[in-house]
Structure 1
Amino acid sequence: MIATYPETSGKCLINGEWRTVDKTADVINPAHTHEVVGKVALCSNEVVNEAIESANQAFKEWSCSDINDRSDRMKKAAEELAQIVEENVTLYVRENGKALVEAKKDLLRCVDVMKGSAQELLEWWKPEKYMDGQNVQIRRRPRGVTAIITPWNSPMVLTFKRVVPAVLAGNTVVVKPATNCPLTIMNFLKVLASHFPVGVINIVTGSGREIGDKLCSDSRVKTIAFVGGTETGKDIMKKSSSTLQKIFMELGGNDPAIILEDANLDKDAIERLKMGVLRAAGQVCSAIKRIYVHESRYDELVEKLTKSFERVVVGDGIQPDVTMGPLNNESQFNYVTGLLERTLQTGANVVTAGIQLDPETWDHGYFMLPSIVTGAQQDSEIVQAEQFGPVIPILSFSTNDQAVEMANDSQFGLRASIWTESEEKAIEVADRLEAGAVFHNNHTVFKDLRLDFPGLKESGLSRETRHGSLELFADSYGFGD
């Protein structure tokens, strides 16, 4: 039987042409590791160079295009993509591992980003006028070739939240999706690219280090948008320093959730807390990765969250009863299982809960039941590390000052959440937390996807909270008399 792969399998997009290359690698289903979902092209340095040149040439005309035309093209692309969401959900689950409900949300959010940003462009592009004895305008212009490097854990929306504003701002792009999960994003980008002039969108896949080295060192690349690990982000900064590229990064996270003494821990709150921990099997930069709870509520929280974890159904995300899929790849699976083993050796307690949907095929995929860790110390690896898996340590505190100190005791500062009946208390604590965004009685994403809040410390670079990140992909300049 000949395997049927997606049309873009094993290909890259250069100057409007979908090409095959000499070398490819398998894309594996993390729920059934014997199953090859498709192929990913391993692009050579020469192919990457062609992609950059294609984008560089296309920029000359696209940068001068009318913004109404840009907006209209994006809206039409969004309409077409909305029609193929259903047919791509299964593919996305098979290569990524997410449960069906989560996967569909990711795909729909791509469409939302396109529609919202296309509309936002028209207002954002207007010059800002200042009149104080001199007529001055703040005007905007695109920067040039933009390199967009995205991860395997949430490749759809994280890619579109960068490609869409970059293109709308008048830039051209070279997109480098992750090799573990490139197929669905390639299908979506194929539709998007068809609505824009040749060369505006180019796609290369393969070795992150080799392609990254080329993108970071090439003087034709003016902006780098990267989502991924902090150490890789540091490496990109070093390599891009010779050309002084503008860098926009969303990096790692170790998000704290702080449960104050007066928190409402009813069924709905526990469900929101659980989802904040276990969304995408915990493989989300902005997932809850440590919980700090007031000592008077500690036992109650542990008991309620454990019971909630007991109802989690783990298995192949294609199955409708599954609420949590597998980890995405062998490397991450080995890291998280090793982390749990080392945690047990420190004397901490690990309680594993949940339901195996299919025990007979459990070892065929990168499946893990969720675990709660108690008795860990603040300086332990399980608390300080970015677990990126279905594991959560719970620690107690006696005062709000202590909770803030413990929450800020991290190299990361991406997101945080505060759980209390008092909005005043929540804001008081939030003002003291080192995080790019803080949620009240929830730990999620902002419904308006045009809002973007990069992290602090080693969780990210570039500050922009409005306009769907359009500002990050443009230069502003003053014009006056």
Structure 2
Amino acid sequence: MISTYPVVSGKYLINGEWKEITETVDVINPANTSEVVGQVAICSEEVVNETIEVAVKAYETWSRSDVKDRATRMNTAAEELAKIIEENVTVFVRENGKTLVEAKKDLLRCVEVMKGCATEVLNWWQPEVLPGNQNVQVRRRARGVTAIITPWNSPMILTFKRVIPAILAGNTVVVKPATNCPLTIMTCLKVVAEHFPPGVINIVSGSGKAIGDTLCSDSRVRTVAFVGSTETGKEIMKKSAGNLQKVYMELGGNDPAIILEDANMDEAAIKRLRMGILRAAGQVCSAVKRVYVHESRYDEVVKKLTKEFGRVVVGDGIQPDVTMGPLNNKAQFDYVNELIKRTAQSGGKVVTTGLQLNPETWDQGYYMLPSIITGVDQQSEVVRVEQFGPVIPILPFSDVDEAVRLANDSEFGLRASVWTVNEELAIEMADRLEAGAVFHNNHTVFSELALDFPGLKESGVSRETRHCGLEFFADSYGFAD
């Protein structure tokens, strides 16, 4: 079945023009794999090179534009984008698999990013006078062409949190969205691009490896912002090393949640834990991937979380009663299913629960009921990997030192959470946990979008940003007299 295509279907954006291309690939609805939501253009290396050249030329004038003009343009674009949010929520659900609530929240947060960055840039861009006998100023300038490569799991917010600060800082961008879920992000960036000079925002789509290799090996690209798997991130770093490009990476995670003996795991807390695990069907790099529970509370927490998982309604995210949609694509669906099978075959106890909204159409999409896994240890595959699906292993521990050791026993270090009534102890543990951010009695995201804490170890390459990411996309230099 072919649905009504979004206007950007099968096109790419270069120098303010949306161009069609012969080679395209269908974008499939993961809730109904017979439905084609639209098409994504498969750009050639020649097209990517042409797009980079356009971005280089646009940078010459855009980088010298007045910061107040940039902020004004952004605020106007935000007002226009807000007007089309409602009509694009269903398209986003159909190409991504999120629920209506999750999808709308993501779109609204994009508008919030635009407004927040537009306000922040006016203060941040001002020269900073350093203390001392000499008059020394810290000033900021744009870096150049920025390549932004974003994933399929949360494409809206993860793209906007890179594109918006990049262009506000005076850069031009070449955006490469994921082929699994490109349509809504392209539709929304179309609105934004119309408020900026041609060539400031450009979009190419197609093979991740082919386009990524071109963008990351081209000396005209000065900054690369990538969100995706750690394995791909490592390849991008190799390609970028030849030109010493500045690299920002938000990579994989295997986030631990540690539930201490004194934790208040009432109904509200269990619900927060469930949301931390199953948001977007578990396809979130910062979702809970491992739960460690004090041995005295282990049976209780397993029982309560199993009951809570049993309330999850799985189905097409378009349906208002659904609380968890399908997985986004066949590769991920197959991977998670095989992981569960291998875990069960190796002795793990798998309890699958939840409710099928429409059992009669269950096999038409990439649907999975959530699973809780017990009877595994620290070396089990399901504990070591980033599952990226609705499955969670739960392990016991005997004391705080063991819990910290187990939590840190991973190549990842994105997020973590500590569940206890003792805030002082939570802070002490946070100081010892190898994670870019630690939450207390919750496992969520920062409500203030200006905050962005990078992961440690193989979960990311960047630094703390408190200015909507603006600092990353600019160079600071000293001026003295």
Report the TM-score when normalising by structure 2.
0.99
Q: Quote the Cα distance in structure 2 between the aligned partners of 1:131 and 1:99.
A: 52
1:106 match: secondary structure: helix
1:3 Cα deviation after fit: 4.2
1:128 Cα deviation after fit: 1.1
Q: Quote the Cα distance in structure 2 between the aligned partners of 1:418 and 1:89.
A: 34
Q: Do the aligned residues in 2 keep the contact of 1:349 with 1:373 (CA within 8 Å)? A: yes
Give yes or no for the alignment of 1:74 onto 2:74: yes
Q: Do the aligned residues in 1 keep the contact of 2:223 with 2:473 (CA within 8 Å)? A: yes
Gaps of at least 5 residues in structure 1 are none
Q: How does 1:91-106 map to 2 (within 5 A)?
A: 91-106=91-106
1:130 Cα deviation after fit: 1.4
1:133 Cα deviation after fit: 1.5
1:296 match: secondary structure: coil
Q: How does 1:39-58 map to 2 (within 5 A)?
A: 39-58=39-58
Q: Do the aligned residues in 2 keep the contact of 1:314 with 1:367 (CA within 8 Å)? A: yes
Give yes or no for the alignment of 1:266 onto 2:266: yes
1:467 match: secondary structure: coil
1:171 corresponds to: 171
Q: Do the aligned residues in 2 keep the contact of 1:216 with 1:239 (CA within 8 Å)? A: yes
Q: Quote the Cα distance in structure 2 between the aligned partners of 1:298 and 1:81.
A: 47
Q: Quote the Cα distance in structure 2 between the aligned partners of 1:9 and 1:269.
A: 42
Q: Quote the Cα distance in structure 2 between the aligned partners of 1:17 and 1:49.
A: 16
TM-superposition CA deviations, 1:62-81 (whole Å, max 9, x none)? 00010111111111111111
1:108 corresponds to: 108
1:5 corresponds to: 5
Q: Do the aligned residues in 1 keep the contact of 2:225 with 2:248 (CA within 8 Å)? A: yes
1:464 Cα deviation after fit: 2.2
Q: Do the aligned residues in 2 keep the contact of 1:153 with 1:328 (CA within 8 Å)? A: yes
1:236 corresponds to: 236
Matched residue pairs, number?
481
Q: Quote the Cα distance in structure 2 between the aligned partners of 1:441 and 1:103.
A: 25
Q: Do the aligned residues in 1 keep the contact of 2:45 with 2:214 (CA within 8 Å)? A: yes
Q: Do the aligned residues in 2 keep the contact of 1:464 with 1:471 (CA within 8 Å)? A: no
Q: Do the aligned residues in 2 keep the contact of 1:28 with 1:35 (CA within 8 Å)? A: yes
Q: Quote the Cα distance in structure 2 between the aligned partners of 1:465 and 1:3.
A: 41
2:88 match: secondary structure: helix
Q: 1:2/1:249 Cα in 2 relative to 1: closer, same or farther (>3 Å)? A: closer
1:431 match: secondary structure: helix
Give yes or no for the alignment of 1:355 onto 2:355: yes
Gaps of at least 5 residues in structure 2 are none
Q: Quote the Cα distance in structure 1 between the aligned partners of 2:274 and 2:4.
A: 37
Q: Identity rate of aligned residues, in percent?
A: 74
1:389 Cα deviation after fit: 0.1
2:462 corresponds to: 462
2:39 match: secondary structure: strand
Q: Quote the Cα distance in structure 2 between the aligned partners of 1:291 and 1:421.
A: 17
The code of the aligned residue for 2:197 comes to: P
Q: Quote the Cα distance in structure 1 between the aligned partners of 2:49 and 2:458.
A: 30
Q: How does 1:109-188 map to 2 (within 5 A)?
A: 109-188=109-188
2:434 match: secondary structure: coil
2:412 corresponds to: 412
1:465 Cα deviation after fit: 2.7
Give yes or no for the alignment of 1:30 onto 2:30: yes
1:2 Cα deviation after fit: 6.7
2:136 match: secondary structure: strand
Q: Do the aligned residues in 2 keep the contact of 1:404 with 1:432 (CA within 8 Å)? A: yes
The code of the aligned residue for 1:479 comes to: F
TM-superposition CA deviations, 1:367-408 (whole Å, max 9, x none)? 000000001110111000000000000001000000000000
TM-superposition CA deviations, 1:144-201 (whole Å, max 9, x none)? 0000000000000000000000000000000000000000000000000001000000
Q: Do the aligned residues in 2 keep the contact of 1:141 with 1:476 (CA within 8 Å)? A: yes
Q: Do the aligned residues in 2 keep the contact of 1:224 with 1:248 (CA within 8 Å)? A: yes
TM-superposition CA deviations, 1:429-471 (whole Å, max 9, x none)? 0000000000001111010111001100000001023001100
Q: Quote the Cα distance in structure 1 between the aligned partners of 2:3 and 2:101.
A: 26
1:443 corresponds to: 443
The code of the aligned residue for 1:86 comes to: E
Give yes or no for the alignment of 1:200 onto 2:210: no
Q: Do the aligned residues in 1 keep the contact of 2:2 with 2:37 (CA within 8 Å)? A: no
Give yes or no for the alignment of 1:276 onto 2:276: yes
TM-superposition CA deviations, 1:43-70 (whole Å, max 9, x none)? 0111101110111000000000101111
TM-align CA RMSD = 0.7
Q: Quote the Cα distance in structure 2 between the aligned partners of 1:375 and 1:193.
A: 52
Q: Do the aligned residues in 2 keep the contact of 1:96 with 1:181 (CA within 8 Å)? A: yes
Q: Quote the Cα distance in structure 2 between the aligned partners of 1:49 and 1:20.
A: 17
1:377 corresponds to: 377
Q: Do the aligned residues in 2 keep the contact of 1:259 with 1:418 (CA within 8 Å)? A: yes
Q: Do the aligned residues in 1 keep the contact of 2:310 with 2:353 (CA within 8 Å)? A: yes
1:238 Cα deviation after fit: 0.4
Q: Do the aligned residues in 2 keep the contact of 1:278 with 1:324 (CA within 8 Å)? A: yes
Q: How does 1:321-336 map to 2 (within 5 A)?
A: 321-336=321-336
1:131 Cα deviation after fit: 3.4
Q: Quote the Cα distance in structure 2 between the aligned partners of 1:459 and 1:197.
A: 35
The code of the aligned residue for 1:96 comes to: N
Report the TM-score when normalising by structure 1.
0.99
1:473 corresponds to: 473
1:17 corresponds to: 17
Q: Do the aligned residues in 2 keep the contact of 1:464 with 1:472 (CA within 8 Å)? A: no
1:418 match: secondary structure: strand
1:89 corresponds to: 89
TM-superposition CA deviations, 1:181-233 (whole Å, max 9, x none)? 00000000000000100000000000000000100111100000000000000
Q: Quote the Cα distance in structure 1 between the aligned partners of 2:131 and 2:270.
A: 53
Give yes or no for the alignment of 1:249 onto 2:253: no
Q: Quote the Cα distance in structure 1 between the aligned partners of 2:334 and 2:369.
A: 14
The code of the aligned residue for 2:93 comes to: V
1:192 match: secondary structure: helix
Give yes or no for the alignment of 1:428 onto 2:389: no
The code of the aligned residue for 2:112 comes to: D
The code of the aligned residue for 1:127 comes to: P
Q: Quote the Cα distance in structure 2 between the aligned partners of 1:313 and 1:420.
A: 29
The code of the aligned residue for 1:108 comes to: L
1:416 match: secondary structure: strand
Q: Quote the Cα distance in structure 2 between the aligned partners of 1:203 and 1:233.
A: 20
2:364 corresponds to: 364
